[in-house]
Amino acid sequence: MRERAEPKESIEVATSAKVLSDPAMQFVSDVRAGLCRPGQKELPSKYLYDALGFALFEAISLLPEYGLTRADERLLRRHAEEIVRHVPGPTLVAELGSGSGRKTRWILTALCQREPVSYYPVEISRAALASCESELSDIESVSIVGVEREYLDGLREVAAQRPDGMRLLVMFLGSTIGNFDAGADARFLREVRSVLALGDSLLLGTDLLKPVERMLEAYDDRLGVTAAFNRNLLGRMNRELDSDFDLRQFEHVARFNQAACSIEMHLRSKTRQVVSVRRGGFAVTFAAGETIWTESSHKYTRHEIANLAVSSGFRTEAQWLDDEWPFAENLLRAV
């Protein structure tokens, strides 16, 4: 499961200035493109994260089956001071997909021991930005400036404001990098690198390959919280696009794609049905058993991470591994 992600690149989206400037029109455009495309129906996973979706994901991070968030937090808590020692100052911090900001506290606290810090959480979720600012507002010497943008647009905005002589530390935590399609992870990191200056740093979280059964349990918990999180995407379309999805007629499915080495989340239609998206002015027919692909989470090997860094214009400065849940924090340096 992603912490925060951009849309899957396999979906065509409208690119007119009018559409891109209006999130509601962009939502309609992406839904039409994803549900009316031939073959596998799919939707950008970023739309899982409205206010309710964000709250449900926060609940998922507490489930016993979902060890990823706790592994991420353990590494940041245990190694924050060491991580910061690898980052030359003075430093401006931008976090792509901050969520609640809970995990970021350890890095910001360590940085503040040497200098005041300006922290820019970049989020498309207004609820997440509000939660982040509330969570971290008690840290002394931290100035928090929320940026409600897509990842790259937000990062460019932050980089444009950096004072001369200031280093930039970009944090991309959790397993978000694994939510991109094959090859899109490297393309995204190259885009990040193009915004950075020589010597800037990227702290990248990566979930590692582990036994399939353990991975599937993390994406299909016994309480059904992940299923509710996934189905909420249909509820969001009902609320915002005047659709008529019957949530009871779709079931959550988690599966392992061995060829892609990733967990996929789908919503499977239980019966043949026709759903109207009235705000978009179109209808979609689902066959019994047909799915909407809503998210992927690629699982990396350590060798793969090293190759990804090099191919994206970085070198691996340091890496920290969790011993309870296979997960890695990787500090990459722009070269």
Contact 37, 332 (CB under 8 A): no
Contact 178, 3 (CB under 8 A): no
Give percent of the chain with pLDDT exceeding 90. 88
Two tokens, residue 252: 């959550």
- From CA 322, how far away is CA 95, in angstroms rounded? 21
- From CA 49, how far away is CA 218, in angstroms rounded? 18
Neighbours of 182 (CB within 10 A): 14
Domain 68-209+302-334 has CATH 3.40.640.10: no
Residue 127 pLDDT: 86
DSSP 288: T
Q: Is the pLDDT of residue 9 over 60?
A: no
Q: How far is CA 246 from the centre of its chain?
A: 27
Mean pLDDT on 66-85: 97
Residue 24 pLDDT: 87
Q: Is the pLDDT of residue 229 over 90?
A: yes
Q: Tell me which residue of 299, 332, 313 sits closest to 175, measured CA to CA.
A: 299
- From CA 278, how far away is CA 185, in angstroms rounded? 34
User: Poorest-confidence range of 81-85, 162-166, 202-206, 313-317?
Assistant: 162-166
Two tokens, residue 335: 């070269």
Place of tokens 């999130």: 23
Two tokens, residue 102: 């809970």
The three-class DSSP label of residue 160 is: helix
Residue 246 Ramachandran class (φ > 0 left, ψ -120 to 50 alpha, else beta): beta
Q: Is the pLDDT of residue 2 over 80?
A: no
Integer angstrom CA distances of residue 174 from 183, 186, 219, 255, 296: 19, 17, 15, 20, 14
Place of tokens 């005047």: 242
Q: Is the pLDDT of residue 35 over 60?
A: yes
Mean pLDDT on 118-124: 94
Pick the residue with more confidence: 240 or 15?
240
- From CA 133, how far away is CA 148, in angstroms rounded? 13
Q: What is the pLDDT of residues 283-296, one digit of tens each?
A: 999 999 999 999 99
pTM to 2 decimal places: 0.88
> What amino acid is encoded at 331 in this protein?
L
Computed over its alpha carbons, how large is the radius of gyration of the chain?
A: 20
Residue 87's pLDDT band (cuts 50, 70, 90): very high
Mean pLDDT on 66-82: 97
Q: Is the pLDDT of residue 3 over 60?
A: no
